[in-house]
Amino acid sequence: MNIFKFFDKKTYSTKSRISSLRNSTGNDFKKKSVILDMVVDGQSGDRVVDGRFKRRLLQSIKKQADKGKSFDWIVILGGTNDCFNGYKSNNIFAVLKDLYLNSENSGANVSALTISNFNNDKFEKT
């Protein structure tokens, strides 16, 4: 099973916890004779609205395809940096939907994670 965890700054700092999760999850799969290949790609400060997030996603999908593989699952968490940099939530969500479609078009299942609900009015540009 090939899993790609793709995220921005807020989750970037959790890499060590994800690494330990990878080890414990991998051990669980070993017991069941499932080979787990997990790729983790967090980028500090990344935003979805400026296109860098999408470029990284497509590059990772292509890199996997160049190895003759595809991801079974792509786990995406994005938009936190966009919110705190004043981008409108409807613009963020439109880009996220495009990321989900690109992921599905690669043949992967998508796990779309969300940020916690908060009042973004003080951050959103008018």
Q: Please report the pLDDT score of residue 10 as a whole number.
A: 46
Residue 119 confidence class, pLDDT cut points 50, 70, 90: low
Cβ–Cβ < 8 Å for 76, 110: yes
- CATH code of domain 2-112: 3.40.50.1110
Q: How much of the chain exceeds pLDDT 70, in percent?
A: 63
Residues whose CB is less than 8 angstroms from the CB of residue 82 and which lie 6 or more positions away in sequence, other chains included: 47, 48, 49, 91, 92
Using alpha carbons, select from 106, 107, 109, 83 the residue that is nearest to residue 95.
Answer: 83
Residue 98 has pLDDT above 70, yes or no: yes
Average pLDDT (56-73) is 92
Q: Please report the pLDDT score of residue 105 as a whole number.
A: 96
More confidently predicted of 86 and 5? 86
Average pLDDT (114-126) is 64
Residue 74 confidence class, pLDDT cut points 50, 70, 90: very high
Domain boundaries, given as residue ranges, for the chain:
2-112
Q: Record the pTM.
A: 0.72
Residues 4-29 pLDDT 10s = 666 655 444 444 444 444 555 555 55
